[in-house]
């Protein structure tokens, strides 16, 4: 006999808790996502492929992925630096900054979108400055990049912070007594300990950026082939009642999301094996 | 030793110069990226004075948007809270196979684009689907109406409460509940008097985040709302419509209201993190 499917337990409430969990999960998550996959399956892979295989859609997927990757790289570096500053240094306003890091989570994306546009558009405070220097931020890929950096900002900070708090100072002391410079210690002792958490945050930030819509569409300008992100194309297809076209892009994005999810899990398994915690 | 330098520095610290540069760099980026947009929201909202801003909020369009947003959150958040408690109970109080799969499925909405979430709702309940068609004929459309908006908001906020409760309940274990049951308490009473007091701050924390996201959700709602003025336009959707019509003060005033909600959320969240740290999931303590 193998393991039982569910172990007997003296704690009551199995029926009701399992019932609510499975019913709501099915209705709210599995049914809608299933509908996407079924619509895709009914259309058939060939139909989906012809829908996706247009230069405009490839351009948008490439734009979304490329800028999301750049934003996630920026957030990786900046997030580790910010987490380090918040964890190790004491300066006035530290608590406030720490709380403000979650602002992109708390601020609705549409609000962030119009606020960033107001600032970085050619008639905005920073946009006018950029204009004088001869370049444009809003309505170009750089504008999209700023919005994506904004929404992904908290992820790396929040995954790395608990790890910084847990680092034993003795390890750094040992490194220093063995003659390592501070830079050498950070590079070879501290950063490797932060790497798995930082990479998890990187992947989370990347996943968020690839699917981001609200904060981007205002600042993007939405020019086909130039500043049109993939989620926007889904909206456009739906407005044309082209459900198969929307499904095709939706499935393409779902595949990207799952790949990123697998990546996150792989990083966590790898780090657990290597260091014993995430 | 007498010739030790006056400013003695431990070997596990960076030089003051490096430290200052790092702090300055971090603050500059945050100012440009986080604080400036916030200032911009309020600056643009109050550009034509307080009265203008307040007057735009009193317009029927704004009022109906606020009402709709509150209604959506009032349905979606309690349902997700019930789900979160039930799922956390189910997952932490019993041992069964497939727990990891269940956890992954609960987390799934976080890794799906909000627009894809909206698309999924349209493909499930849109007018051209079987169920959606029936409901439209019966006079209760789902998509481009309140139920679709609620469902879309529920999907994007689905994991919040469960995710917050599960680690806390894992940490607390089952012993207290088992003791209560041994002493003859009913299952419901055990939950109410033993479990609930243990998880209330974590529950509140999850509900806060869930509510902030539900009220501010844009992408998923944009797809299913149909953007019917005065009927299916939530606050974020109305912000978009006003902005696209160059009604900047009105758009930014509504945005400022949502920003204030965001501040409130952050404030309460930080308060919980400081005041009730030991009652929250370990990763929230700092």
Residue B223's domain is classified under what CATH number?
Answer: 1.10.3720.10
Please report whether residue A110 resides in a domain. Answer: yes
Structure tokens at A77: 């570096």
Please report whether residue B266 resides in a domain. Answer: yes
Residues B171, B29 share a domain? no
* Cβ distance of B239 and A111 shorter than 8 Å: yes
Please report whether residue B7 resides in a domain. Answer: no
Cβ-based neighbour number of residue B139 at 10 Å: 6
Tell me how far apart the alpha carbons of residues B239 and A111 are, in angstroms, rounded to a whole number: 8
Greatest mean pLDDT among A71-75, A173-177, A191-195 lies in: A71-75
The per-residue b/e assignment along B27-64, b for 16 or more CB within 10 angstroms, e otherwise, is bebbeebbebbbebbbbbbeeeeeeebeebbeeebbeb
- Name chain B contacts of A150, Cβ cutoff 8 Å: 33-34, 37
% of chain A surpassing 90 pLDDT: 67
pLDDT per residue as tens digits for the range A45-81: 999 999 999 999 999 999 999 999 999 999 999 999 9
For an interface test with A, the pick among B23, B111, B126, B183 (most A C-beta atoms closer than 10 Å) comes out as B111
Residues B206, B265 share a domain? yes
Domain that holds residue B32: 14-45
For an interface test with A, the pick among B65, B92, B112 (most A C-beta atoms closer than 10 Å) comes out as B112
Domain count, chain B: 2
Structure tokens at A34: 């299933």
Domain that holds residue A135: 55-275
pLDDT at A278: 42
* Cβ distance of B286 and A108 shorter than 8 Å: no
- Name chain B contacts of A96, Cβ cutoff 8 Å: none
* Cβ distance of B119 and A173 shorter than 8 Å: no
Residues A117, A35 share a domain? no
Q: Which pTM was predicted?
A: 0.92
- Interface A–B counts its CB contacts (< 8 A) at 291
Asked which of A28, A53, A78 is the last residue of a domain, the reply is: A53
Residues B235, B150 share a domain? yes
* Cβ distance of B38 and A103 shorter than 8 Å: yes
Least confident of A228-232, B127-131, B165-169, B214-218: B127-131
| Contact call for residues A222 and A231 (beta carbons, < 8 A) | no
For an interface test with B, the pick among A189, A214, A216, A248 (most B C-beta atoms closer than 10 Å) comes out as A214
B282 against B177, higher pLDDT: B177
* Cβ distance of B22 and A89 shorter than 8 Å: yes
- Name chain A contacts of B33, Cβ cutoff 8 Å: 146, 149-150, 153
Please report whether residue A4 resides in a domain. Answer: no
Which runs of consecutive H residues, i.e. helices, occur in chain B? 16-30, 36-45, 50-57, 60-93, 99-107, 114-125, 130-137, 146-157, 159-172, 175-182, 187-190, 196-216, 219-225, 235-244, 248-275
* Cβ distance of B37 and A115 shorter than 8 Å: yes
């Amino acid at each position: 006999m193998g393991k039982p499917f569910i172990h007997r337990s003296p704690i009551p409430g199995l029926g009701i808790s399992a019932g609510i969990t499975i019913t709501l999960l099915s209705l709210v998550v599995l049914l809608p996502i299933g509908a996407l996959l079924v619509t895709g399956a009914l259309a058939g892979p060939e139909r989906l492929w012809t829908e996706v295989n247009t230069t405009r859609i490839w351009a948008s997927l490439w734009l979304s992925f490329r800028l999301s990757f750049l934003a996630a790289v920026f957030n990786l570096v900046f997030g580790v630096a910010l987490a380090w500053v918040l964890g190790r240094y004491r300066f006035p306003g530290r608590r406030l900054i720490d709380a403000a890091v979650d602002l992109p989570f708390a601020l609705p994306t549409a609000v962030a979108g119009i606020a960033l546009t107001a600032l970085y558009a050619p008639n905005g405070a920073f946009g006018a400055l950029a204009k004088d220097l001869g370049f444009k931020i809003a309505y170009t890929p750089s504008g999209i990049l700023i919005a994506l950096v904004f929404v992904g900002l908290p992820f790396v900070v929040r995954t790395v912070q608990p790890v910084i708090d847990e680092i034993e100072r003795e390890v750094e002391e040992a490194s220093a007594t063995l003659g390592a410079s501070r830079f050498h210690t950070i590079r070879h002792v501290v950063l490797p300990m932060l790497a798995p958490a930082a990479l998890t945050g990187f992947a989370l930030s990347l996943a968020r950026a690839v699917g981001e819509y609200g904060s981007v569409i205002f600042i993007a300008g939405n020019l086909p082939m130039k500043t049109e992100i993939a989620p926007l194309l889904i909206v456009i297809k739906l407005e044309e009642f082209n459900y198969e076209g929307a499904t095709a892009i939706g499935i393409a994005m779902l595949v990207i999301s799952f790949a990123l999810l697998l990546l996150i899990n792989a990083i966590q398994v790898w780090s657990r094996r290597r260091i014993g915690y995430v | 030793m007498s010739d030790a330098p006056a400013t003695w520095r431990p070997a596990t610290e960076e030089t003051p110069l490096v430290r200052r540069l790092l702090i300055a760099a971090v603050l500059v980026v945050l100012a440009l990226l986080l604080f400036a947009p916030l200032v911009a929201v309020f600056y643009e909202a109050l550009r034509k004075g307080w009265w203008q801003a307040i007057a735009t909020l009193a317009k029927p369009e704004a009022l109906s948007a606020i009402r709709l947003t509150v209604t959506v959150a009032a349905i979606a958040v309690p349902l997700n809270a019930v789900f979160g408690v039930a799922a956390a109970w189910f997952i932490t109080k019993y041992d069964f196979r497939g727990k990891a799969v269940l956890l992954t499925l609960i987390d799934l909405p976080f890794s799906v684009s909000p627009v894809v979430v909206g698309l999924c709702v349209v493909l499930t309940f849109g007018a051209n689907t079987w169920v959606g068609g029936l409901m439209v004929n019966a006079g209760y459309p789902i998509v481009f109406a309140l139920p679709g908006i609620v469902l879309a908001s529920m999907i994007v906020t689905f994991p919040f409460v469960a995710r917050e409760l599960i680690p806390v309940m894992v940490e607390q274990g089952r012993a207290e509940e088992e003791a209560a049951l041994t002493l003859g308490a009913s299952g419901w009473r055990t939950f109410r008097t033993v479990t609930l007091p243990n998880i209330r701050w974590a529950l509140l924390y999850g509900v806060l985040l869930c509510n902030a996201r539900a009220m501010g959700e844009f992408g998923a709602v944009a797809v299913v709302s149909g953007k019917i003025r005065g009927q299916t336009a939530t606050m974020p959707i109305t912000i978009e419509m006003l902005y696209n019509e160059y009604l900047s003060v009105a758009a930014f005033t509504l945005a400022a209201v949502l920003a204030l909600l965001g501040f409130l959320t952050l404030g309460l969240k930080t308060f919980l993190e400081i005041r009730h740290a030991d009652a929250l999931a370990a990763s929230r303590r700092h």
